[in-house]
Structure 1
Amino acid sequence: MSTHAYAGIAPDRLDADVSADVDALYTDGISARKGAFTADWADRLGEDVATAFEEARSREGGAVGRGPHRYYVEIHPEQIRGFVELVDHPWVRSVCTAVLGPEYRIVELGFDVPLEGAVDQPWHRDFPMPEETRRERRLTSLAFNVTTVDTAEDMGPFEIAPGTQWDDSPEFDHGMFPPRSHYGRYLERAVRKYPRRGDISVRSALTIHRGTANRSVKSRPVLVLGVDGPEATNGERHDTAVTRGYWDALPERVRRHLDCAVVDELVPVTQKHTIEGLVMGDA
């Protein structure tokens, strides 16, 4: 049994046993489910991400830089064929419910692409610490990551400093970027992740992390699914939308959690989820 309180949900009401994942999120700040999907499913996701990336780079504001040769693109659910399978996976549903409560909201869908030549990012978290987390040591949002490739050492793997989701200092620039004087602590804790196609991870985006240098000739696209609890406001930074026909065809238990506009026609997303400082890379 998890030693951390579930968000008002009895564990036996969940679709999957996620007690170890809840513990990991509150201690390390990250957990994962190996082989949640098939490699074929991940390959289809990779195809859809590649199509969306090509479209986004063809227009102004379609992709935002996250450092040299590194991009972030926000997309709409209809742009990936496996959206319903992703958000309706029993493990995903159960982790969201256990940590954030039954009223969790899906607010972000996008992907990061480190290309050949991407450099080490500065250590960072993705947004300033919410007051609920600072006062109560309670997580109010989650980020799920799904790789579209088998990650190798030279491909710039994701690096995270476990346990740093609670780090809080007035020295953090914009509330997100610790000063270099803190880097020793993160390097001591640093763990690199090597997910394979079909794996999915979940983390608190407050846990200090970075992308590392991509020294290969391959890109390393990773899908990002952002989920808020009732108090969180990350959805204000995103423009997720679905068409009316797509909305009507979604299972009710997916619609219940999908916090987005329902429109007659999709408009490509103009990126606004910038993170100050990442464009500087390791400069």
Structure 2
Amino acid sequence: MADVEALYSDGITARKGAFGVDWADRLREDVDAAFEEALSRPGGAVGRGPHRYYVEIHPEQIRGFVELVDHPWVRSVCAAVLGPDYRIVEIGFDVPLEGAVNQPWHRDFPMPEETRAERRLTSLAFNVTTVDTTEDMGPFEIAPGTQWDDGPEFEHGMFPPKAHYGRYAERAVRTYPQRGDISARTALTIHRGTINRSRLSRPVLVLGVDGPEADSGERHDLAVTRGFWERLPERVRRHLDCPVVDELVPVTQKHTIEGLVMGDA
């Protein structure tokens, strides 16, 4: 499968036009509403650098959640990389606002032992843009092939020393997804958000998926109500790893290390 080969070689792959523009526009409406709510309470959003935020939400805050996780490409990539028992453990979004600056090069979590010892990926992150990305909006930048980089000098296991930055800059590729596009990556591949010189925000939805041996779910607070759970297709329910509750509690963000290191917790 070409997508699996790309994830193991470059660390990222994508499907253009996976969704319609109308679907992406509804996603933007839902993300905007969730962002406004998150900013209104303590712990609702965490800084990922100046003028840049991350917000974790619950599945039913996104009207297109089922269409996203049940998309044939998403299901096939998850199964091919992580196996048939993959688990959906995170849904959230990053919002680089006007004035967001270059993030330090980083990965999203320390390298698991399975990856270090066996060169095997145990989780995936899917990204869905809510805008047509342009150069001035602070596009995502990734250094292909760096998912295997490792060493004790990585701060918190996630932030390589500045002495490595030249290598990442040489490899760097910027992505310009359009509404309806979706990408899949290993969040171990070294990457960063870049300067947003526009007057527009660039919200991007994040879907986190684990293989059976991964433990990312311990860092997230995904939940669904009983009514929502009962309406889900069975093949979605079997992959959704979260409590079923009577009432949702807004998520208090846990991504504090990233915020501190990136200068805006």
TM class by shorter chain equals over 0.9
Deviation at 1:63, TM superposition (A): 0.2
Q: In the alignment, does 2:163 pair up with 1:164?
A: no
Distance in 2 (CA, whole Å) between partners of 1:193 and 1:90 is 23
Extract unaligned runs of 5+ from structure 1: 1-18
Quick check: 1:280 aligned with 2:255? Answer: no
Query: Deviation of residue 169 (structure 1)?
Result: 1.1
Is 2:82 aligned against 1:100? yes
C-alpha distance after superposition, 1:166-208 (max 9, x if no partner) = 0011110000000000001100000000000000000000000
| Structure 1 contact 105–258 (Cα < 8 Å) conserved | yes
Does residue 143 of the first structure (1) align with residue 129 of the second (2)? no
CA RMSD after TM alignment: 0.8
Cα offset, 1:280, TM superposition: 1.6
TM-score, length of structure 1 as denominator length = 0.92
Equivalences for 1:105-116 in 2 at 5 Å?
A: 105-116=87-98
Residue 182 of structure 2 corresponds to which residue in structure 1?
A: 200
Q: Assess if the C-alpha contact under 8 Å between 1:157 and 1:192 holds in 2.
A: yes
Name 1:188's counterpart in structure 2.
170
CA contact (8 A) 2:104 2:262 kept: no
Percentage of identical aligned residues: 84
Residue 267 (structure 1) aligns with? 249
Question: 1:253 and 1:201 mapped to 2: Cα distance?
Answer: 22
Secondary structure, aligned partner of 2:257? coil
* Residue among 63, 68, 77 paired with 2:59: 77
Indicate whether 1:51 and 2:33 are aligned: yes
* 2: CA distance, partners of 1:253 / 1:280: 41
- Classify the secondary structure of the residue corresponding to 1:231: coil
**3-state DSSP class of the match of 2:184?**
strand
Residue deviations 1:195-226 (CA, integer Å, cap 9, x gap): 00000000000000000010000000000000
Aligned match of 1:126: 108
Which sections of structure 2, spanning at least 5 residues, go unmatched? none
The residue number in structure 1 matching 2:208 is 226
Out of 158, 175, 190, the position equivalent to 2:157 is: 175
Question: Which whole-Å CA distance do the structure 2 matches of 1:202 and 1:279 have between them?
Answer: 24
| 1:256 and 2:238 are equivalent in the alignment | yes
Secondary structure in 1 matching 2:167? helix
Secondary structure at 2:105's aligned position in 1?
coil
C-alpha displacement at 1:279, in angstroms? 3.1
Q: Which amino acid aligns with 1:114?
A: P
The Cα offsets for residues 13-46 of structure 1, whole Å up to 9 and x where unpaired, read as: xxxxxx1100000000000000000010000000
SS of residue in 1 equivalent to 2:183? strand
**Structure-1 separation of matches of 2:256 and 2:69:** 24
The residue type equivalent to 1:34 in the other structure is K
